[in-house]
Structure 1
């Protein structure tokens, strides 16, 4: 049910009846001609109010249907990196561009911050691990940390791009490996949003 499903018929009928003259010739009893006329006009006003709210609803990006194409054009969609996007995906991308990202490590997160990149990838449906290799430093690094030269390489490991065939879950005729994402669109996306001073190393 829409937020704007309203029924103010009784209120309109009461307001209209108070504008009518009083007296026996102007009966407000149910079943009278005047009551029927007031009800008809009240329904008309109520319909007009609902239409007004429905029109307003279509200007809200999170609820629009009729103006979805206009909102997409306004934010530059469809994205060249995601040529084949579903309507749900396009709506998610649209709202992300309008609202900005949420859940970042801190409010002024840099586009190059690993947690920022993870959040941006999660918005478009990718689960990734992101890290920069750094030289080992006693007291800072621990066993299992990614170490190496501080060479400006951004490592992005894409998790679960492909799902293997599983007995009990898949059927005869299914592929041995089902890939719902190629990862190429993510590489394109990262190339655009990550500062140019970094080299992106994508790991599948």
Structure 2
């Protein structure tokens, strides 16, 4: 069911209907009095539209007016946000933090990166073992048990999108600083994380 929406003309008509009756209070839309009253209508229209969109605005993935409150609740912005994050980048980070249930699996890290707007793959390493490793595999110490790598594009580009970006956002931004920071924060403390870009 579509949401009812009121126009400036609807509010002008309603405001004129609230005025007293009489020759001093003309209701004709061409009168100076009615034109002066119509100046208030856009404010009421904006408030009405905002109230109708309140439910959508309360959810992290679609929020506009409550983004700063979501950030404050989730401890954002932090160093992972970067120096000048875009609006959609900030919202992606809120959604990723809010929906993050924790984990140590490849699926968890892939999903966490996807929530931030990055497509990655994960490589797990292991040291050479006689009878289990293949010929030509490099020798490695025990540290390889705890080493893993994230494979990603060299520069993930985020483009300005109508409805998702706001005034002041760049037309394009790129970089993987948010990905590196978020995954470094989320990785198990005993592991070593590498980032490989192609």
Q: With structure 2 as the length reference, what TM-score do the two structures score?
A: 0.52
TM-superposed CA distance for 1:192, in Å, is 1.1
Change (3 A) 1:141 1:121: farther
Structure 2 residue corresponding to 1:116, chosen from 108, 111, 118: 108
TM-superposed CA distance for 1:92, in Å, is 1.5
Contact 1:128 1:157 in 2 (8 A): yes
SS in 1 for 2:179: helix
TM-superposed CA distance for 1:79, in Å, is 3.3
Paired with 2:96 and 2:85, the residues of 1 have a C-alpha distance of 15
Corresponding residue for residue 175 of structure 1: none
Contact 2:148 2:191 in 1 (8 A): no
Corresponding residue for residue 121 of structure 2: 129
Structure 2 residue corresponding to 1:160, chosen from 123, 142, 153: 153
**Number of residue pairs matched?**
139
Per-residue CA deviation, residues 11-58 of structure 1 (Å, 9 max, x unaligned), is xxxxxxxxxxxxxxxxxxxxxxxxxxxxxxxxxxxx998775444443
Per-residue CA deviation, residues 108-130 of structure 1 (Å, 9 max, x unaligned), is xx733233222222322333332
Question: Does the alignment pair 1:88 with 2:88?
Answer: yes
Structure 1 unaligned segments of length 5 or more: list them: 9-46, 102-109, 164-178
Paired with 1:189 and 1:65, the residues of 2 have a C-alpha distance of 23
Corresponding residue for residue 195 of structure 2: 202
Question: Does the alignment pair 1:190 with 2:183?
Answer: yes
Spell out structure 1 runs of 4+ moving beyond 6 A. Answer: 47-51, 140-147
TM-superposed CA distance for 1:86, in Å, is 1.0
Of structures 1 and 2, the one with the larger relative CO (CA 8 A, separation 6+) is: 2
| 1:95-114 correspondence runs (5 A) | 95-100=95-100, 111-114=103-106
Structure 2 unaligned segments of length 5 or more: list them: 7-44, 157-172
| 1:142-161 correspondence runs (5 A) | 148-151=140-143, 152-161=145-154
Paired with 1:82 and 1:51, the residues of 2 have a C-alpha distance of 28
Change (3 A) 1:66 1:195: same
**Structure with bigger gyration radius:** 1
TM-superposed CA distance for 1:196, in Å, is 0.9
Paired with 1:51 and 1:160, the residues of 2 have a C-alpha distance of 39
Structure richer in helix, relative to its length: 2
Q: CA RMSD in A?
A: 3.9
Change (3 A) 1:132 1:49: closer
